[in-house]
Structure 1
Amino acid sequence: MIEQLKIGKLRWFHIAVANDENINFLKDNFDFHPLDIEDCQSKVQRPKIDTYDDYRFMILHFPYFDKAFKFVKTKEVKIFWGRDYVITLGTHWVISSLFKKTKKDADIDVDELANTSDVLLYSILDSLIGESLKLFTLISDNLDHISREMFDKKAEKTIERISITRKNLILLNTAFKPQIRLFQKFESGVIKGFTPGLEDYWGNILDSYRKVWDSIEDYQELIQGFSQTFDSLQANKTNEIMKVLTVFSTILLPLTFITGLFGMNVDLPLGENPLGFTFLIAFMVTLIAVLLFYFKRRRWI
Structure 2
Amino acid sequence: MKKANEILSSINPLKLTKKISRQKELVGKAPGSLIYTGEVVDVPVELSVIRYSETHYDSFILKNATDAHEEKGVDHISWINVDGIHDVDIIKTIGKDFDLHSLLLEDILNIEQRPKIEVYGDNLVVFFKMMYLRDNKLDIEPISLVLGPNYLISFQEKKGDIFDNVRARIKNTNGRIRKRGSDYLLFALMDAVVDNYFVVMEDIADKLELLEDKLFEDTDNKLLYELQQYRKQIVNMRRSVYPLREVVNKLNRAEFGVISEDTERFFRDLYDHTIQIIETIETFKETVSSLKDVFMTGVSNKMNEIMKVLTLIATIFIPVTFVAGVYGMNFEDMPELSWEYGYEATWGLMLLMGGAMLVYFKKKKWL
TM-score bracket, normalised by the shorter chain, equals 0.7 to 0.9
Tell me, what secondary structure is at the counterpart of 1:219?
A: helix
Match of 1:6 in 2: 51
Return the offset for 1:28. 3.2
Match of 2:357 in 1: 291
CA contact (8 A) 1:4 1:13 kept: yes
Match of 1:30 in 2: 98
Match of 1:51 among 80, 97, 119: 119
1:60 aligns with 2:125: no
Q: So what's the TM-score if we normalise by structure 2?
A: 0.71
1:199 aligns with 2:244: no
Return the offset for 1:129. 1.3
CA contact (8 A) 2:215 2:295 kept: yes
Q: Which moved more, 1:282-291 or 1:19-28?
A: 19-28
Return the offset for 1:141. 1.0
Cα distance in 2, alignment partners of residues 10 and 204 from structure 1: 23
Cα distance in 2, alignment partners of residues 86 and 292 from structure 1: 81
Match of 2:147 in 1: 81
Gaps of 5+ in 2: 1-45, 54-75
Question: CA distance change for structure 1 residues 59 and 269 in 2, over 3 Å: closer, same or farther?
Answer: farther
AA partner of residue 154 (structure 2)? T
Gaps of 5+ in 1: none
Question: CA distance change for structure 1 residues 203 and 100 in 2, over 3 Å: closer, same or farther?
Answer: closer
Cα distance in 2, alignment partners of residues 55 and 95 from structure 1: 24
Aligned length: 297
State how 1:149-160 maps to structure 2 within 5 Å. Answer: 149-153=214-218, 155-160=220-225
Tell me, what secondary structure is at the counterpart of 1:11?
A: strand
Question: CA distance change for structure 1 residues 92 and 145 in 2, over 3 Å: closer, same or farther?
Answer: farther
Return the offset for 1:88. 0.6
Cα distance in 1, alignment partners of residues 234 and 184 from structure 2: 30
AA partner of residue 176 (structure 1)? V
Return the offset for 1:211. 1.6
Tell me, what secondary structure is at the counterpart of 1:170?
A: helix
Question: CA distance change for structure 1 residues 142 and 109 in 2, over 3 Å: closer, same or farther?
Answer: closer
Cα distance in 1, alignment partners of residues 177 and 275 from structure 2: 30
Return the offset for 1:152. 1.4
Question: CA distance change for structure 1 residues 228 and 92 in 2, over 3 Å: closer, same or farther?
Answer: farther
Match of 1:234 in 2: 299
Match of 1:20 among 81, 88, 108: 88
Which deviations, in whole Å up to 9, do the C-alpha atoms of 1:138-175 show, x marking residues without a partner? 12211321232233135335434433333333322221
Tell me, what secondary structure is at the counterpart of 1:46?
A: coil
Return the offset for 1:76. 0.7
Cα distance in 2, alignment partners of residues 98 and 113 from structure 1: 14
CA contact (8 A) 1:7 1:115 kept: no
Cα distance in 1, alignment partners of residues 257 and 221 from structure 2: 51
CA contact (8 A) 2:166 2:188 kept: no
**Alignment RMSD:** 2.9
